[in-house]
């Protein structure tokens, strides 16, 4: 009997288990194949063609690396890539900082924590598009609250349309992106902080460690795995962020908020240059892939070192 | 002892929390206030002399007016007669995506939670890697794919991509729920001669209902949120448009009916907000369970 049960234990790697498990996974895997993997391959293939609206019926011609040469040789591309990375680092950095602050605040011994935690969530829960409509109104130059406030406080001289100027449009989009991304980061950091063993804090407290010291030396290292993974996830999503920029500025004014994703969408869907758009999509995937690998290998090494030195102390 | 704060410290914490909440909630407050104000008041500015600055009272008048009413909540149905349809579409699409996703998520999550098998970690990694691709990257082939099946401008054009992009997260979330159900129950059923499928249906599923509900709600919220891009690209038919795309109709050629647009937006987020309010405790616990364990 015992042996029998042992055999059923999930630790076994029998052939029937593998078959059964795969039978359960296959439907989901097929959907992925159909909607993600195959289109990915198609994107790759299209990027070597001159596919556009005109060639939908007749079939596109292979033009080799022409799309890539045109894109990489163009004046605009380096600018767009730099902007996309700037957008990503700035926004993710702010999300991490705000998320840490928010989580530390919520983790402190305060009243009505549950209510406050729930009040932080709406930007994340609400459809991105609708949140952006709200910001669109707030950024309005003549009637928006931000412009009026700046005017009253004497920061600006008269009405200021946040989305009308290159610089301000870019940073306005960043603020909205941070607004949407912060709740989730806060929530995960809070959960991680609450998972840190209490006796660590107590021991440090008995030893006379200050609150700030405890945060730096206990909380931060303990939640480091969560920070590392949330930062990567945030980075990927921010890099791919589409709706926020599209609704606020459509990539303008004069391309000031055109990130790689916006450029891809504009080229492919609005100009119907499917081939050239696919080239951009392939580069998005490539850049993100390389970024993730570098990030994980560098941070993996750092955090290993970090936890090692922690153990030694 | 350790959690005691000095008074100054306490004030600091509450003030910081207030500022944090202000950032998170200001857009909603401003949307609500804008929806209450008549459009003429919304578009009025105090006449300023050259060199004169906006006074505090002028600023506050952007929040308050004697003529505030819920009129916009009545007018919006007239301005955009399709509005009920858009709201229905949004809820319908999110529900359909949730239902269909769960059919794929439940078996797969069960397999990952319960068995060790060849290719387990590799396939799981591949599933999660899907999160790396935004829908925007795959729009072109997806457009052609949906076109070749004749599915453009139908509900399916928004349901199919929606399902695909939510399955990986769903599997991940449900897996950690299912891992908490003790093996002994399955063993008992198995010893009694139950088949694996029978065990899944009659033993595991009933126990997993709370987890499935939470994952379902998470998928619903995700599906409700992600409609815009797919609607923008794959659907031109106004009868199938979800709310975020439909709200653009308040932006007219001449002017934007901001108050009605904000009213419609707020009504449109009510479904998710209500679900979230009822489920928030379980939802937050479920979503973050992966963050706690190492």
Domain boundaries, chain B: 84-292
- Measured distance CA(A248)–CA(A136) in Å, rounded: 6
- What pLDDT band is residue B36 in, cutting at 50, 70 and 90? confident
Two structure tokens written together for B34: 């804008």
Please report the pLDDT score of residue A312 as a whole number.
40
**For residue B26, with 0-12 CB atoms within 10 Å meaning exposed, 13-18 middle and 19 or more buried, which class applies?**
middle
Write the pLDDT tens digit of every residue in B52-70: 666 777 777 766 777 777 8
> Given CB atoms, is B31 within the 8 Å cutoff of chain A?
yes
Structure tokens, B170: 């769903």
Mean confidence (pLDDT) of chain A:
82
pLDDT for B52 equals: 64
How many angstroms separate the CA atoms of A73 and B192, rounded? 69
Whether A127 sits inside 8 A of B227 (CB atoms) is yes
pLDDT score for B129: 83
Candidates B270, B245, B50, B204; CA nearest to A243 is: B245
- What are the tokens at B59? 């600023």
Task: Kindly tell me the number of DSSP H helices and DSSP E strands found in chain B.
Answer: 14, 0
Q: Which CATH superfamily is domain B84-292 in?
A: MetI-like (1.10.3720.10)
Choose the closest CB to A192 out of B58, B227, B292: B292
Task: Give the model's pLDDT for residue A3.
Answer: 53
Continuous segment of H or E residues that includes residue A81: helix A76-107
Residue A94 has what pLDDT?
Answer: 96
Q: What is the pLDDT of residue B100?
A: 95
Cα angle: A104, vertex A97, B283; to 5 degrees? 60
Interface contact flag, A202 B2, Cβ < 8 Å:
yes
B128 alpha carbon, distance to own chain's centre:
19
Structure tokens at A240: 């791919």
Does residue A264 belong to the interface with chain B, where contact is any CB pair within 8 Å?
Answer: yes
Does the bond joining A253 to the residue before it have cis omega, within 30 degrees of 0?
Answer: yes
- What is the predicted pLDDT for the residue at A180? 92
Instruction: Decide if B162 contacts B97 (C-beta within 8 A).
Output: yes
Angle at A46 between CA A44 and CA A49, to 5 degrees: 130
Whether B42 and chain A come into contact, CB under 8 Å, resolves to yes
Which residues 31-50 of chain A have a CB within 8 Å of chain B? 31-32, 34-36, 38-40, 42-43, 46
Average pLDDT for B214-220: 88
Q: Inter-chain contact A25–B53, Cβ cutoff 8 Å? A: no
**Do B239 and B93 contact (CB within 8 A), yes or no?**
no
Q: What is the pLDDT of residue A4?
A: 52
Print the SS3 string covering A232-245.
Answer: HHHHHHHHCCCHHH
Return the pLDDT at B272: 86
Residue whose pair of structure tokens reads 């790697």 in the numeric block: A13
- Which ipTM score applies to this complex? 0.83
| A interface test, pick of B100, B191, B291 with most A CB neighbours within 10 Å | B291
Whether A62 and chain B come into contact, CB under 8 Å, resolves to no
Q: How far is the alpha carbon of A91 from chain B, nearest alpha carbon, in Å?
A: 15
Q: Can you list the domains of chain A with their CATH numbers?
A: 76-312 (1.10.3720.10)
Q: Would you state the pLDDT for residue A305?
A: 59
pLDDT computed for residue A307 by the predictor: 54
Give the Å distances, CA to CA, from A218 to A187, A206, A298, A313, B205: 19, 14, 22, 12, 40
In this prediction, the residues of chain A whose per-residue pLDDT falls under 70 are 1-13, 56-58, 300, 302-313
Structure token digits, residue A247: 């609704």
pLDDT of residue B289: 67
């Amino acid at each position: 009997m015992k042996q029998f049960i042992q055999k059923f234990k999930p630790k076994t790697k029998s052939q029937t288990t593998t078959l059964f498990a795969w039978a359960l996974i296959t439907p989901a895997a097929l959907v992925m194949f159909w909607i993600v993997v195959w289109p990915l391959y198609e994107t790759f293939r299209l990027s070597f063609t001159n596919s556009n609206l005109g060639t939908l019926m007749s079939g596109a011609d292979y033009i080799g690396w022409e799309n890539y040469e045109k894109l990489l040789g163009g004046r605009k591309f380096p600018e767009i890539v730099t902007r996309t990375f700037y957008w990503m680092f700035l926004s993710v950095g702010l999300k991490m900082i705000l998320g840490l602050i928010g989580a530390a605040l919520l983790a402190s011994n305060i009243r009505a924590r549950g209510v406050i935690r729930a009040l932080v969530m709406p930007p994340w829960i609400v459809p991105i598009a609708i949140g952006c409509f709200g910001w669109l109104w707030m950024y309005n130059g003549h009637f928006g609250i931000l412009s009026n406030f700046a005017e009253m406080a004497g920061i600006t001289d008269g009405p200021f349309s946040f989305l009308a100027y290159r610089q301000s449009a870019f940073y306005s989009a960043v603020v909205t992106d941070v607004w949407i991304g912060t709740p989730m980061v806060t929530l995960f950091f809070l959960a991680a902080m609450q998972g840190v063993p209490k006796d660590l804090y107590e021991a440090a407290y008995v030893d006379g460690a200050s609150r700030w010291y405890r945060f730096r030396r206990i909380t931060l290292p303990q939640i480091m795995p969560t920070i590392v993974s949330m930062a990567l996830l945030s980075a990927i999503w921010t890099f791919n962020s589409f709706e926020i920029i599209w609704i606020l500025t459509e990539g303008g004014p004069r391309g000031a908020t055109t990130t790689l994703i916006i450029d891809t969408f504009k080229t492919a869907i609005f100009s119907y240059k499917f081939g050239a758009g696919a080239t951009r999509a392939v580069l998005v995937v490539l850049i993100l892939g390389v970024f993730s690998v570098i990030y994980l290998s560098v941070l993996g090494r750092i955090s290993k070192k970090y936890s090692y030195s922690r153990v030694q102390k | 002892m350790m959690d005691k704060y000095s008074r100054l410290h306490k004030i600091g914490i509450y003030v910081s929390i207030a500022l944090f909440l202000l950032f998170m909630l200001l857009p909603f407050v401003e949307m609500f206030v804008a929806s209450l104000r008549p459009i003429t008041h919304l578009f009025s500015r105090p006449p300023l002399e050259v060199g004169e600055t906006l006074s505090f009272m002028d600023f506050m008048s952007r929040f308050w007016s004697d003529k505030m009413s819920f009129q916009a909540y009545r007018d919006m149905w007239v301005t955009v007669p399709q509005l009920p349809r858009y709201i229905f579409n949004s809820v319908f699409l999110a529900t359909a995506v949730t239902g269909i996703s769960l059919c794929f998520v439940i078996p797969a999550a069960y397999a990952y939670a319960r068995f060790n098998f060849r290719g387990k970690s590799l396939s799981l990694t591949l599933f999660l890697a899907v999160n790396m691709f935004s829908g925007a990257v795959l729009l072109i082939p997806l457009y052609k794919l949906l076109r070749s099946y004749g599915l453009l401008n139908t509900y399916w054009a928004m349901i199919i991509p929606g399902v695909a992009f939510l399955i990986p997260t769903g599997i991940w979330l449900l897996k950690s729920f299912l891992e908490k159900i003790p093996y002994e129950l399955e063993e008992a059923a198995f010893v009694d001669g139950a088949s694996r499928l029978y065990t899944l249906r009659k033993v595991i599923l009933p126990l997993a209902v709370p987890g499935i509900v939470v994952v379902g709600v998470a998928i619903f919220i995700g599906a409700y949120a992600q409609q815009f891009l797919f609607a923008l690209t794959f659907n031109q038919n106004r009868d199938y448009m979800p709310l975020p795309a439909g709200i653009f109709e308040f932006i007219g050629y001449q002017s934007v009916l901001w108050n009605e647009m904000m009213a419609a937006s707020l009504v449109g987020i009510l479904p998710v907000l209500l679900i979230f309010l009822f489920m928030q405790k379980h939802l937050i616990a479920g979503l973050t369970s992966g963050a706690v364990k190492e």
